[in-house]
Amino acid sequence: MARAVLDPQWLAEHNALLRPALEQDYEALARQLARRGLDAEALVARAQRFAVAIPSWGVGTGGTRFGRFPQPGEPRDLQEKLEDCAVVQQLVRVTPTVSLHVPWDRPADPARVRRDATELGLAFDAMNSNTFEDHTAGERSYKFGSLTHVDAAVREQAIALNVECIELGQALGSAALTVWIGDGGNFPGQIHLRHAFDRYLDSLRKIAAKLPSDWRMFLEHKLCEPAFYSTVNQDWGTSYAAASAVGPQCSCLVDLGHHAPNVNIELIVARLIQLGKLGGFHFNDSKYGDDDLDSGSIKPFQLFLIFHELVSAEVEQVKGFAPAYLLDQSHNVTDPLESLMSSANEVQRAFVKALLVDRARLAECQARNDALLALTTLKDAYETDVRPLLGMARLRSGGAIDPVGAYRASGWRALCADRRPASRRGSAGGIVG
């Protein structure tokens, strides 16, 4: 039994206030769903099994290149980050794993960190290697690249960090490595476009050679930034080519913010599923670019359409389909824990709504070329208010009916502000690709 950070008795009392209204709304929704041939109880059970990982860097206030506005009580070390992750998980019950970033969260004693996490009811998701900035004086600089650098010694150093991530991950119980590099050029002519990609493949193969047989390796592409003219792994096609070249343990990771404006992301998702190379997701939302805004805050319909593709693959039992889900956002103006709870809820909501799609009717519409009724079929699912179903799933899993409301009432932030004086510099923030 995991140690609860917030008092379970207090949480039960908080839930008791909201429970009568939830039960009324749930019964009404269950009747509506039954008319559509859907079983609310089965959907609650599916919602309860849904999971999305939390990034260790997400519990601290993020920032932009213009600045950062930390708030009181930010976690100062990995132990405190895990404690915050446990609070989120206690309230939402769909975030049982944490994804670590190395070296930001390099554990000195991984066995102890694993025990601490287990005690809090948490496990570890994919490891993330950071070779997009310099870490310690004396090491070789990544200013002009890491895995694709022209200097073999820099590439070796970056490869070694990825191998270290694998070894740490093994000790922590992780089984995946996510590789995102900032490598690219800011000037035409700065890098040899083909040779840089050759070096990328060569470095990736060396890392893949160190993967345990049950591990997976995810390649995360990104259109631009920090390189603004050319990026080595800039789009899903490049990522697919690289993952294919590296081998069967390697696949592509889709970060929702890493695409050109207006790109049809659900189509990319469908393609990668079809090609057997969809490894996972970094969920967030965006308006202009890699804004790292909260999931579902700008384009909730897009998120639903992505989950429609994911659920379709699940329903059709596409071979090898098992994508990893992680939130990857920068919380600049909110309490990060509130953003994580609300975003986990948005992702779970998109998943549950995708379960409501009448796939038989959609197939009929497609066979008849009935475009309008096909869209209506999707909208029938999308426009269903599933909040009572999500609330019931959280309640039955031991979480909060209203996670953000419960969190605010718990006073956790104020307690942290007291317990975690800012005299020690926070190890929190950071922007990740």
Residues that bind Mn ion (CB under 5 A): 255, 282, 328
Q: CA dihedral defined by 186, 187, 191, 192, rounded to 10 degrees?
A: 130
Least spacing, CB of residue 245 vs Mn ion, in Å: 22
Query: What phi, psi does 178 have (nearest 5°)?
Result: -105, 130
Nearest CA among 127, 113, 103, 207 for reference residue 175: 127
In the complex, the smallest distance separating the C-beta of residue 366 from Mn ion, rounded to whole angstroms, is 33
- Residue 376, both tokens: 């209506």
Least Å distance, CB 324 to Mn ion, is 12
Find out whether 177 and 211 touch, Cβ atoms under 8 Å.
yes
* Nearer to Mn ion (CB atom), residue 90 or residue 284: 284
Report the residue number, 65 or 424, with the smaller CB distance to Mn ion.
65
Cα radius of gyration (the chain): 22
Smaller CB separation from Mn ion, 110 or 280: 280
Query: What contacts 20, CB < 8 A, 6 or more positions away?
Result: none
Question: Residue 124 or residue 180: which is nearer to Mn ion going by CB?
Answer: 180
3-state SS of 369-411?
CCHHHHHHHHHHHHCCCCHHHHHHHHHHCCCCCCHHHHHHHHC
**Can you tell me the distance from the alpha carbon of 38 to that of 256, in angstroms, rounded to the nearest whole number?**
30
Alpha-carbon span 240 to 109, nearest angstrom: 36
In the bound complex, what is the minimum distance in angstroms from residue 357's beta carbon to Mn ion?
Answer: 27
Least separation, in Å, of the C-beta of 295 and Mn ion? 12
Nearer to Mn ion, 48 or 286 (CB): 286
| CA–CA distance, 393 with 380 (Å, rounded to integer) | 22
Token pair recorded at residue 157: 């150093």
The CA-atom distances, in angstroms, between 425 and each of 70, 151, 335, 420 are 11, 34, 18, 10
Smallest distance from Mn ion to CB 107, Å = 21
Nearer of residues 328 and 402 to Mn ion, judged by Cβ: 328
- Among 264, 318, 256, CA closest to 287: 256
CB of 292 to Mn ion, least distance (A): 8
CB of 256 to Mn ion, least distance (A): 9
Query: In the complex with Mn ion, which residue's Cβ is closer, 183 or 255?
Result: 255
Nearer to Mn ion, 179 or 273 (CB): 179
Chain residue at closest Cβ approach to Mn ion:
282
CA distance 212 to 11: 41
- Least distance CB 308 / Mn ion (angstroms): 22
Decide whether 116 or 328 has the Cβ nearer to Mn ion: 328
Looking at beta carbons only, is 328 or 335 nearer to Mn ion?
A: 328
As separate numbers, helices (DSSP H) first and strands (DSSP E) second, the chain gives 15, 12
Tell the burial category of 69 from Cβ atoms under 10 Å away from its Cβ (0-12, 13-18, 19+): exposed
Specify the residue for token string 């690219």.
Answer: 184
Beta pairing partners, 250: 217
Closest distance of CB 351 from Mn ion, Å? 19
